[in-house]
A and B are shown apart, each in its own frame.
Chain A
Amino acid sequence: MRPIRVLIAKPGLDGHDRGAKVIARALRDAGMEVIYTGLRQTPEQIVAAAVQEDADVVGLSILSGAHNYLFPRVVDLMKKQGADDVLIIGGGVIPEDDIPGLKKEGIAEIFTPGTTTTQMIDFIKSNLKRTVN
């Protein structure tokens, strides 16, 4: 079995990357290959990176409240690239009310504060859209 490849990205302008970094480490410690792209990523940059890195999972972290604008754009661009076998998840300060809408747009799951890294790892492992064998 090959390692699961996860792209962790911070779309938008917010610079709070504590969560993204903690998750990157936890996923590494769970045996995954984590590509971290850093701050201030446009949806275009995130999708280009996801394609080139052939990521199995794209994890988006945002704390500024711009999720309703930015998350759907990432999903759309991924679809345009034909990369519909990539699991896209999101996290951050995201009001409960916004979650159904984001899921409808194609974000598989939204992780809010208080989620453990173990929960996230389990979710990824059991919801991959392509095999890693």
Chain B
Amino acid sequence: MELIQRMLLGEKRACARLITTVENDPEEAEKIIREVQKYTGNAHVIGITGPPGAGKSTLVDKMVKVLADKGNKVGIIAVDPTSPYSGGSILGDRIRMQDLAVNPNVFIRSMGTRGYLGGLSKYTKNALKILDAAGYDYIIIETVGVGQSEVDIVKTADTVVMVMVPGLGDDIQSIKAGIMEIGDIFVINKSDLFGADRTATEINMMLDLSMNMDRRPPVMKVTASKGEGIDSLISEIKSHINFLKTSGNFEKRRSDNMKLEVMDLIESELKKIVISRTANENKLETEVGKILNKEKNMYEVRDEFLKLIG
């Protein structure tokens, strides 16, 4: 495809158009990814997550400036929520990244979650592959930052940066609820605000309590709006990459994530097959009726469906 060629040569417009396609048209997406997957796997993917108001976009802006100034090509995918009522969305993360728009080394793309609950869009991974193939060295994914959905980012990113702010006591609670395992690096942003030390101490204490860690995530104080702590954050990201590569965790993480993706593909393809083969007879409806009437149990029904493709 001509667009793919142009994208591989670094043309931003082609890259943008391919992202639109993979985000919207599953059949075309498959064709494109079949072509470009061989060019992927080179980018280091950084997930930036944390509650709304934590200053994620400003942090991304400052990080990317540093990375791009050093000659790296950086892609950004910024995800914002889609309105469940209209299906529309307002994507406003670029506001904090105005100067980056014209940086030749940088590509920013905003996406709506489009009703997908995972804190990313269902198609974020497709977009990621395009940017990866287009030769971006780092790809930063900024998540929506609401709900418990942040777990998604772990399945996508090589390094996950959890962004917190001082004084939001509830967030510490939510960390307790299980987000602690997600972060590879913890950032207390807006550290010039009162309470930053306390927040840092609390996170440190919780990290100390967590077992089964082959690497103790660092907790860093950053004031993104003033550019303070950005360089150290970047070094921590690099040292995390190093850790992944030297400990063998890099391959493991990527392979785990790819397994999930492949299993997802198989699952959805199987569903499609089952449904297409039984569409005429309305089999699903009939069989479910039987379960509800206590004539059958759901495992019997499953086995029957599986026989159809067996």
Contact = CB atoms under 8 A, between A and B. Distances in A.
| Chain A bound to chain B | yes
B88 A49 contact: no
Interface of A is mostly: mixed
Interface string A1-34: 0110100000000000000000011011111111
B16 interface: yes
A35 B95 CA distance: 9
Contacts of A49: 94, 101, 108
Contacts of A32: 88
In this complex, the interface size class of chain B, counting residues with CB under 8 Å from chain A, is: 20 to 34
Nearest to A56: B20
Given A37-B95, A44-B102, A28 B88 contact: yes
B24 A2 contact: yes
B89 A28 contact: yes
A53 interface: yes
Interface of A: 2-3, 5, 24-25, 27-38, 40-42, 44-45, 48-49, 51-54, 81-83
B16 A25 contact: no
Contact of A45 (B13, B98, B107): B98
A33 B89 CA distance: 5
Contacts of B88: 3, 27-34
A132 B92 CA distance: 22
B86 A36 contact: no
B41 interface: no
Closest 4 CB pairs of A and B: A38-B95, A28-B88, A2-B24, A54-B16
B26 to A, nearest CB: 12
Interface in B150-165: none
B12 A51 contact: yes
Nearest to B78: A35
Given A37-B94, A44-B102, A45-B98, A52 B12 contact: yes
A40 B94 CA distance: 13
Given A38-B98, A44-B102, A45-B98, A52 B87 contact: no
Contact of A36 (B17, B20, B90): B90
A28 B20 CA distance: 18
B194 interface: no
B101 A36 contact: no
Contact of A53 (B85, B92, B110): B110
A54 B86 contact: no
B244 interface: no
Interface string B137-170: 0000000000000000000000000000000000
Interface string B1-41: 00000000000110011011001110000000000000000
Contacts of A44: 101-102
B301 interface: no
